[in-house]
Structure 1
Amino acid sequence: MGIHDYEFVKAAQLISHADALLITAGAGMGVDSGLPDFRGAQGFWQRYPALKASGIVFEEMASPRHFRVRPELGWGFYGHRLNLYRKTSPHEGFHILHQIASRLRHKAFVFTSNVDGHFQKADFPDDRVVECHGSIHYLQCLDSCSPDIWPAERFEPAVDDEQCLLMNEPPACPNCGGLARPNILMFEDLDWIEARSMQQRMRLNTWLWDTERPIVIELGAGTALPVVRQFGERQKAPLIRINPFEPELPNSIKHVSLPYRALDALSTLKMALEDIHFFGGRL
């Protein structure tokens, strides 16, 4: 299993004593599916070269301001992402997490800052996922004329990828007819409608209340936006942190650090679980 054999064995043993799996995931979870994590301006500009000439970085582009001043650019960026997330398949690591959860009494719940909807696409139940920053697959009114949130499934963005511009009509609010935007928490965003995410959090709190021995597997969650890391660390549960760039742990002997990408770590962790016959019978 490599140079970190002991850590994988310890992680497998911790999982074998759990009755529930809390999956906490950041952008690094999607890298093995071919999705960008926007680490640094250069990585962002490689994906969106049209923005490099203007010096626009991710933190500036991910703002509701562009929908007001230049909606074809705002929707060019988010329309490209919507198309990308729709056509990309979740990697095998999602299936491994399914397999682990299937052996536990309370199965799994997901807490993620990712807006790509890939946990649902990988057949995690929608009522077992918290998207703390919202989802690109849902829309809201740009002016928040009502608290309504609706699916984006009827919107098919036609994007000029070289210019990062939307070429067809953007989605409209069904209530006021004004411009619609993704139901995503952006930077400097005072108009995000968080009702859907709050309902998800309430379901997670109920699930956590029923668990007795949960374990947290954190995947690709960094410190630049530490919401996911902090949420997992607040749980009174063993933490398995999978992160090749920021693997440091809180000071506790019950936690495990696996400094690998998500798919590599989960594949090796599965082998460690097989060695202790974890999948041989329901816990």
Structure 2
Amino acid sequence: MALSESKKLSEVATWLREADGLLVTAGAGMGVDSGLPDFRGREGFWRAYPALKLSNMNFEDIASPAAIRRMPTLGWGFYGHRLELYRRTTPHVGFEILRRWAEHMEHGLFVFTSNVDGQFQKAGYPEDRVVECHGSIHHLQCSECCSRDIWAADGVRPVVDEKTCRLVSELPTCPRCGAIARPNILMFEDGDWIDDRAEQQRARLDRWLQGVFRPVVIELGAGRAIPTVRLMSERNGPHVIRINPREHRIAPHLGLGIAGEALETLRQTDTALFRT
């Protein structure tokens, strides 16, 4: 017999009290409550970038190394707009709720996210406790891969014409060879992504997991289309809490699913944790 939502929240509260470490796994749905777009479907993407609808370009077309090379001002118009959007965005209070839970656990928390927005670090999470499995928009690499250098994008201040989605400021370039720089992000059809930084992050997570004996996994807004985050969660069951408004189902031997948005469900769980 399926558990009611209140029973699920009570079970989650028990798991959290007994855990010695919290693994937070997060997809695009984690940022929606902060006001970030999740590009769900072509129409969702075009609502965020109407200029690209006029060119009949979808997310996969523009989020690619080929777009950066062939149409650099358009490619950097898209990524430059995203970079500035993420810099302006304030993480919602759900980030703080998770941190507060982990403060009472022996090994604290670790984050595994497919998001490239840097919101966990902006919310105060330590850099060495975050895995960005698809890279970070706040770091750059050479589009021609002249080296394996990865550097911070702090000095890049893109100015974008939102009507055309084109960069009107200077294109970022590689300091080593002068070629156009690109975000250190795993794009579509991307054989050039330099994953050294992500691999170092993953090695730190693996070491942390070796010392955690009673982990709880909180998965937030991770869909099935690209299942990297969901697979990471399931590898670290059986206490996985999958929070997702539509795709929340999970095998009972791995955990339990809660249909809901990230922030509201975290608030409800927080209430249950202190009530029981």
Q: TM-score, normalised by structure 1?
A: 0.95
- Does residue 188 of structure 2 align to residue 187 of structure 1? yes
AA of the residue aligned to 1:193: I
Corresponding position of 2:241:
240
User: Which segment is superposed worse, 122-131 or 55-64?
Assistant: 55-64
**CA–CA distance in 1 between the matches of 2:110 and 2:173?**
33
1:265 and 2:272 aligned = no
Residue ranges of structure 2 left out of the alignment (5+ in a row): none
Whole-Å Cα distance in 1 between the matches of residues 220 and 107 of structure 2?
20
Residue equivalent to 1:250: 251
Question: C-alpha separation between the residues in 2 aligned to 1:126 and 1:237?
Answer: 27
TM-superposition CA deviations, 1:182-233 (whole Å, max 9, x none)? 0000000000000000000000000000111011000000001110001111
Name the SS of the counterpart of 1:197 in structure 2.
Answer: helix
Please give the alpha-carbon distance, in whole angstroms, between the structure 1 residues aligned to 2:186 and 2:251.
Answer: 28
> Any residues of structure 2 matched to 1:163-202 within 5 Å, and which?
163-202=164-203
**Distance (whole Å) between structure 1 residues aligned to residue 49 and residue 172 of structure 2:** 22
Aligned residue number for residue 149 of structure 2: 148
Structure 1 contact 233–250 (Cα < 8 Å) conserved: no
What residue identity is the alignment partner of 1:261? Answer: E
State the SS of the aligned residue for 2:248.
coil
Shift of 1:236: 3.8
SS in 2 for 1:215: strand
Q: Distance in 1 between matches of 2:108 and 2:31?
A: 22
Shift of 1:17: 1.0
Aligned length: 273
Report the CA distance between 1:257 and its aligned residue: 1.2
For residues 66-88 of structure 1, give each alpha carbon's deviation from its aligned partner in whole angstroms, at most 9, with x where no partner exists.
11111000000000000000000
User: TM-score scaled to structure 2, two decimals?
Assistant: 0.97
Letter in 1 for 2:264: D
Tell me the equivalent position of 1:47: 48
Match of 2:17 in 1: 16
Separation (CA, whole Å) in 2 of partners of 1:236 and 1:10? 15
Percent identical: 56
Does the 8 A contact of 2:25 with 2:220 survive in 1?
yes
- What is the root-mean-square deviation in Å for CA atoms of aligned residues? 0.9
CA displacement at 1:33 relative to structure 2:
0.1
6-15 or 110-119, which deviates more: 6-15
Q: Secondary structure, in 3 states, of the residue corresponding to 1:33?
A: coil
Deviates more, 1:52-61 or 1:191-200: 52-61
Judge conservation of contact 1:213–1:237 (CA < 8 Å) in 2.
Answer: no
Alignment check: 8 A CA contact 2:237 2:255 kept: no
**What is the rounded CA distance, in whole Å, between the counterparts of 1:170 and 1:235 in structure 2?**
42
Residues 10 and 256 of structure 1 are in contact (CA less than 8 Å); yes or no, is this contact kept in structure 2? Answer: no
Unaligned runs of 5+ in 1: 277-283
Aligned counterpart, 2:71 = 70
Cα offset, 1:250, TM superposition: 1.9
2:275 & 2:206 partners in 1: Cα distance? 33
